[in-house]
Every structure is written in C-alpha cells, then in structure tokens.
Amino acid sequence: MLLEGKNAIVTGGSQGIGAATSLELAREGANVCLTYRKHGDEAESYARQIREMGRQAIALECDIAVFAQAEQVVKKAVETFGRVDILVNNAGMNWDAVSWKMTEEQWDRVIEVNLKGYFNFTRHAAPLFKEQQYGKIINITSINGLRGKFGQSNYSASKAGIIGYTKALARELGAFNVNVNAVAPGLIETAMLRASYQRDKVVDMAMGEIVLKRLGQPEDLANVVVFLASDKARHITGEVIRVDGGQYI
C-alpha cells in the first residue's frame, strides 16, 4: 500500500472528488479526516466505509472560509491520529455571473471559500509539516484557473490564485521535505453536475473540447491525488497536473 500508516485531511469530503479521494486514500492505507459543510449524513457514510476498511476516519463539520474552524479541524485530526501527513485542499464552490452583473457578495464568497479556505487549512498544517520534516499538500484547482471561463470570473480568479499559491508554497516548504502540488480537473461527472438544470448544455460544450471523448470521473482525480500524496512523487513539487481528457489542449 502506498500510504500505509499515513494520516490525511480532505476538505469537502462528503461528495464528488473529495469523497472519491477520501476512499482512495484509505484503500492505500491512510487514515482520513474529511470535512463537510452541508452533507453530514453523506460524510459520515464515507467515514464509516473507511472504518470498514480497517482505517481510522472522522467526519467534521467545517466552513473552510472560517480561519478558526480550519484550526479546530487540524487540531482534532492530530488528536485523533497522532499526526497529519497529507492535506488535500478540495472544498470549493461556484456562483456564476458575467462580470458586469456579478454582485460583491458573489465575488467575495467564492474568493473566501476557494482561495482563503485553502490558506486557512494550509496555515495550520504547514507548521506541523515543517516541524516533522515531512508533508504532502495537494490543492485542487481547475483548468479554468489556467484559461478562464465565460461567466466565471470569480471562480477562475480563485482557481488561478490557487496555482500561484501552490508554487509559492512549494518554494517556501521544499527545504523541509514538504511537497506541494496542484491538480487541475476539467469537467468531472459529479452529483453537482448531474443536478444542474444546464447539464446537457454544459456536457455538450465540454465534449466538443475533450479529446478522449468521455467525461472524467471523481476517481480519475483521486488516483492522481494518491500518487502525489505518496513517496512515488517525492521529487515532484510546484506542479499543476491537468486531469481533463485533453480538454485544455
């Protein structure tokens, strides 16, 4: 197993990419603390599945945009597992509008969740990683942080910010044996997408770009996260790995 004896925090672990990542980390041997904001029953269900694998797991409610709540999650993970080795910053949101109609609230909320939320968790995990001279940080960004997307200036800005943040962190933490990387998905088949009233339109547009001619699945992201969280990726840092079926090409 790639992650035997390791301990991970996954934000937004109650559905989609975060849930798949939590399960895959556990299959490779990690204990997992997963956070949720709305979907508590689902989060506890995934935590139960992880415990059935013989791993430890806890599901904690958290608004990642709140600094003190992030701190409490990291503290609870350390209390439960003894230490933390892996941080997967995944939780995020979108609130779309064209820039000339976007409200201040739409801009601020997306930035504080998608960008400040990543800072909040990293700020509390990084000193631990630095002290123990070991850590893996994987930030989930988006191909729309690389290229921008119409109607998502707030989302694209936040995801582009994550890329810059990842590279800066890699420089700051590299001397302490901490790897920091980002994974940039294209369109992924999640419950959020399936519930969207514009699903067919969104999928049709994406399929016109995806050279592999299939939608990505949450497990496609999870497999890359597990690799980056393992020592097989020990000499990779500051990178952005696209998982998009060629959508960005």
Say if residue 237's pLDDT is above 90: yes
Q: What are the structural domains, with CATH classification, of the chain? A: 7-243 (3.40.50.720)
- pTM of the model as a whole: 0.96
pLDDT band at 36 (very low <50, low <70, confident <90, very high): very high
Q: What is the pLDDT of residues 159-206, one digit of tens each?
A: 999 999 999 999 999 999 999 999 999 999 987 777 666 788 889 999
Percent of the residues in the chain that have a pLDDT greater than 70, as a whole number: 99
| Tokens standing for residue 202 | 């969104």
User: In sequence order, what are the residues at sequence separation of 6 or more whose Cβ sits closer than 8 angstroms to the Cβ of residue 200?
Assistant: none
Q: What is the pLDDT of residues 195-206, one digit of tens each?
A: 666 788 889 999
Whether 26 shows a pLDDT value over 90: the answer reads yes
| Residue 160 CB partners (closer than 8 Å, separation 6+) | 141, 145, 146, 148
Among 36, 46, 118, 155, which one carries the catalytic annotation? 155
Residue 244 has pLDDT above 80, yes or no: yes
Tell me, what's the pLDDT at 202?
Answer: 85
Is residue 248 flagged as an active site residue? no
pLDDT of residue 196: 67
pLDDT of residue 197: 60
Residue with tokens 């419950």: 191
